[in-house]
């Protein structure tokens, strides 16, 4: 997914064992469509060779301010100026304790710190991924430096927690390459949901028949999880209420696991009181066994089959949509409809029945468990088609569509606007 297409990243490495992760990060950035220019300190060269970084980035690596090679096509022997001028960001990963202390003081005795100091601060953001031993990270000097670097405009990312190369355990590990990639994609995402509290429900529910059996459905939760991620990328504070699925929680998203429709309802009713957007992507069981047997129902050899009685589950979305905050639009509710036929008519009818301003239709068998989907958005104004694509791509488009409805006057994202010209229904 070319999430960083067109972006030029200067990847700076300072000295630390986490330099091995920078190799993978470089690969991931390139896979995501970015171009990468590596700049290393002398200390970084003790941990990983410029040859490795050159091979992965496909560009010559710079390590010295006295390097007289042409830098970014300019021959004035000033790599500290030329290398940053076309950059969309300088990302220092790993950023050692020593390197951050140096940056803080505006010292510039090697190419990387010189380049950071000489960058146009309003055009080229500086993103630091700290990496160090837990005592170094916890030291008041480092914590002071982090505060000041942030105040000076740098984005200092979190650190990971866990085993460290030195054998100790604690805070200070550099984030993993995929986490860093996520942070960069988020960094570049327009914050169209800044200030919003987004509540997302996802996955199936599970309704027990007895202690070892139950009824559920084929929802994988992928669409809801992708929406939670996209909303967080767009600057929202996100809580995900998930039915039983084994998906990893998107970075930065709060997650509450629930099992049954009644659990889900209780949780969503409480959380929706503080949310500004509720996206109901969960596939809630319509019915549950009237009573779950306390012990496993046994086959007794007589050929007799158990008879199950069902009761209807509450419609969680319709209930939230009737709440006073939803009625006065302090809470914007978005429903989903998984249909097997006649998507447009079913989605329109469901929007009215659920009492929500926006309903997202999709074809159930085409989406359950799949990585791709196609969406049909139905609101008071009409319909918008989001053509088949990866669920994360669709989730980002949907987030743009929701943001536009929260703040009328914001233009439609290009892809959705084009799709809006296409005939509705699918
Ligand atoms: O009625 P149907 O199940 O097709 O409606 C789908 C929408 O309603 C989804 O947004 C789903 O999360 C929500 N729903 C609900 N409670 C139910 C059934 C569905 O909130 N019991």
DSSP codes of every residue in 307-344: ---EEEPP-HHHHHHTSHHHHTTSSEEEEEEEESS-HH
Take atom 21 of ligand 1 and give the residue whose Cα is closest: 315
Picking from 241, 230, 250, 202, the residue whose alpha carbon sits closest to that of residue 398 is 230
Q: Which CATH architecture has domain 197-292+308-420?
A: 3-Layer(aba) Sandwich (3.40)
Q: What is the predicted pLDDT for the residue at 331? A: 98
Picking from 98, 167, 178, the residue whose alpha carbon sits closest to that of residue 131 is 98
Q: What is the predicted pLDDT for the residue at 369? A: 78
CB atoms within 10 A of CB 322: 13
Q: What DSSP letter does each residue of 374-406 carry, written as one string?
A: EEEEEESS-EEEEEEEEHHHHHHHHHHHHHHHH
Query: 261 CB less than 6 Å from ligand 1?
Result: yes
Take atom 19 of ligand 1 and give the residue whose Cα is closest: 284
Q: How much distance in Å is there from the Cα of 346 to the middle of ligand 1?
A: 13
166 among known catalytic residues: yes
CATH superfamily of 8-188: Flavin prenyltransferase-like (3.40.50.1950)
Q: What is the predicted pLDDT for the residue at 418? A: 39
Does the reported pTM lie above 0.85?
yes
Query: 316 CB less than 6 Å from ligand 1?
Result: yes
Q: Which atom of ligand 1 is nearest to the CA of 282?
A: 12
Q: What is the predicted pLDDT for the residue at 170? A: 86
Output the tens digit of pLDDT for each of the chain's 426 residues.
Answer: 799 999 999 999 999 999 999 999 999 999 999 999 999 999 999 999 999 999 999 999 999 999 888 888 888 888 888 889 899 999 999 999 999 999 999 999 999 999 999 999 999 999 999 999 999 999 999 999 999 999 999 999 999 998 888 888 889 999 999 999 999 999 999 999 999 999 999 999 999 999 999 999 989 999 999 999 999 999 999 999 999 999 999 999 999 999 999 999 999 999 999 999 999 999 999 999 999 999 999 998 999 999 999 999 999 999 999 999 999 999 999 999 988 889 999 999 999 999 999 999 998 777 877 899 999 999 999 999 999 999 999 999 999 999 999 986 555 554 444 333 333 332
Phi/psi class of residue 49: alpha, beta or left (left: φ > 0; alpha: ψ in -120 to 50)?
beta
3-state DSSP call for residue 221? coil
Residues of the chain with CATH 3.40.50.10300: 197-292+308-420
Q: How much distance in Å is there from the Cα of 285 to the middle of ligand 1?
A: 8
Picking from 327, 332, 422, the residue whose alpha carbon sits closest to that of residue 383 is 422
Residues of the chain with CATH 3.40.50.1950: 8-188
Q: How much distance in Å is there from the Cα of 155 to the middle of ligand 1?
A: 40
Q: What is the predicted pLDDT for the residue at 421? A: 38
């Amino acid at each position: 997914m070319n999430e960083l297409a067109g972006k030029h990243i200067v990847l700076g490495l300072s000295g630390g064992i986490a330099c091995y992760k920078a190799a993978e990060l470089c690969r991931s950035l390139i896979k995501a469509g970015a171009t990468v220019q590596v700049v290393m300190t002398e200390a970084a060269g003790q941990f990983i060779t410029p040859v490795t970084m050159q091979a992965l980035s496909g560009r010559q690596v710079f390590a010295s301010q006295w390097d007289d090679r042409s830098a970014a096509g300019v021959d004035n022997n000033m790599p500290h100026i030329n290398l940053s001028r076309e950059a969309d960001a300088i990302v220092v990963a790993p950023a050692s304790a020593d390197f951050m202390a140096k940056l803080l003081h505006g010292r510039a005795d090697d190419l990387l710190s010189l380049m950071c100091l000489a960058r146009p601060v309003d055009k080229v953001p500086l993103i630091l991924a700290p990496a160090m031993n837990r005592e170094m990270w916890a030291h008041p000097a480092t914590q002071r430096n982090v505060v000041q670097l942030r105040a000076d405009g740098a984005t200092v990312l979190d650190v990971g927690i866990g085993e460290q190369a030195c054998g100790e355990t604690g805070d200070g590990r550099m984030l993993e390459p995929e986490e860093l990639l996520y942070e960069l994609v988020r960094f570049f995402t327009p914050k169209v949901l800044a200030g919003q509290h987004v509540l997302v429900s996802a996955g199936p529910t599970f309704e027990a028949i007895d202690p070892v059996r139950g009824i559920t459905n084929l929802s994988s939760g992928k669409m809801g999880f992708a929406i939670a991620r996209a909303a967080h990328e767009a600057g929202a504070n996100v809580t995900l209420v998930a039915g039983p699925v084994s998906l990893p929680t998107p970075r930065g998203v709060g997650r509450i696991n629930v099992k049954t429709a009644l659990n889900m309802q209780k949780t969503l009713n409480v959380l929706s009181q503080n949310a500004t957007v509720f996206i109901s992507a969960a596939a809630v069981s319509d019915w549950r066994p009237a009573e779950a047997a306390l012990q496993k129902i046994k086959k007794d050899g007589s050929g007799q089959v158990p008879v199950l009685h069902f009761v209807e589950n509450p419609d969680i979305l319709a209930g939230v949509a009737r709440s006073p905050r939803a009625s006065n639009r302090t809470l914007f509710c978005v429903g989903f409809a998984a249909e097997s036929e006649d998507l447009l008519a079913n989605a329109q009818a469901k929007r009215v029945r659920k009492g929500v301003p926006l309903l997202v239709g999709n074809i159930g068998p085409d989406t359950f468990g799949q990585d791709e989907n196609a969406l049909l958005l139905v609101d008071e104004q009409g319909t918008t088609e989001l053509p088949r694509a990866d669920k994360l791509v669709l989730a980002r488009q949907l987030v743009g569509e929701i943001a536009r409805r929260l703040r009328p006057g914001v233009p439609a994202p290009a892809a959705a606007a084009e799709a809006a010209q296409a005939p509705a229904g699918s």
